[in-house]
Amino acid sequence: MTNPKKIPLIIILGPTAVGKSELAIELAQKFGFEIVNADSMQVYRGMDIGSAKPSLKERSLVTHHLIDIKDPDEEFSAAQFKEEARDIIVSLAQEGKVALVVGGTGFYIRALTKGLFPAPSADLKFREELKEKEKTKGKWYLYKELEKVDPEAASKIHPNDTFRIIRALEVFYLTGEPISQQQKRHQFKHSYFNLLKIGLMRDRSEIHHRIEQRVDKMIKDGLLDEATQLLEKGWSPTIKPFQSLGYKQILSYLQGELSLDEATRLIKRNTKRYGKRQLTWFRKDSEIKWFTLPQQSLEISESIKKFLKI
């Protein structure tokens, strides 16, 4: 640790299906850590299989925070994650414990470790107007608008990520300045913590194989029933979590738009693409120490011991 006044914080990150949760539980048991979830989907109650949430048995082994804290129609932003995660980490530090932040949502991790630029508050009326325009003018309309006013931001946002597209447009129209320029000016240098960022990697073909196995297991374990139950509880198919990987394709199957085989194929394909985007995001962060699984598992433990000076 380089600065004794800062709280030590260890982060396990990496692409989907690399094995973050399994390793995190193993490390938490070994070192006495508590786990703080940094996966944007695992905060939602009832969305267990599709988000690859740690099982109840796994959560009984180690204390997990920020899992099952929101209903599917509730908003949970990077700013909220930053505040709630920081409060938990500080509270644990006061008890003499170290938090282990685990997840693949890069924006959450950046918000926690480097802060967020002071953006304007959400304009709900403006957001509704944009959503209405998307309905009337087509799926790609908002993305094309963003490409016009902030091509740099558009290049970093997936065309299907309507939430982030709307936010980027909102910031531009409320401030007159592209969100990408405001983010650059902020520079994201702020942190309360002494950090050890552990990035996990596997051979590409192995990750793809693990993704295919995971998706097959999700279907076998009842992803269709899970999605059906959520709909039966009254959650609208248009809520944000239903637009995420897995649920989006399964809803298309349940609505008769896709066969189950095609839905499964699309989940696998899109998950592989998502993993690639995660890696692109994380590789821009020079603070991350990368380890290849399973070969370097022991080296991860040694790195933690050195960081904590134990």
What pLDDT does 129 receive?
Answer: 87
**What gap in Å lies between CA 196 and CA 210, rounded to an integer?**
26
Domain boundaries, the chain: 7-115+188-308, 124-186
pLDDT at 2: 43
Q: Which residues of 207-238 are buried (b: 16+ CB within 10 A; e: fewer)?
A: bbebbbebbeebbeeebbebbeebeeeebeee
Q: Measured at the alpha carbon of residue 160, what is the angle toward residues 156 and 165, in degrees to the nearest 5?
A: 55
pTM: 0.80
* Pairing outcome for strands 64-65 and 193-201: unpaired
CATH for 7-115+188-308, options being 3.10.20.30, 3.40.50.300, 3.90.79.10, 3.90.1420.10: 3.40.50.300
With beta carbons less than 8 A apart as the criterion, state whether 74 and 45 touch.
no
In this structure, the dihedral spanned by the alpha carbons of residues 100, 292, 286 and 190, taken in order and rounded to 10 degrees, is: -10
Query: What is the structure's pLDDT at 1?
Result: 41
Q: What is the pLDDT of residue 128?
A: 87
pLDDT value, residue 217: 98
Neighbours of 121 (CB within 10 A): 7
Which residue is associated with the tokens 């959503």? 131
Q: Which fold has domain 124-186?
A: Histone, subunit A (1.10.20)
Predicted local confidence at residue 125, as pLDDT: 85
* Low-confidence residues in the chain, pLDDT < 50: 1-4
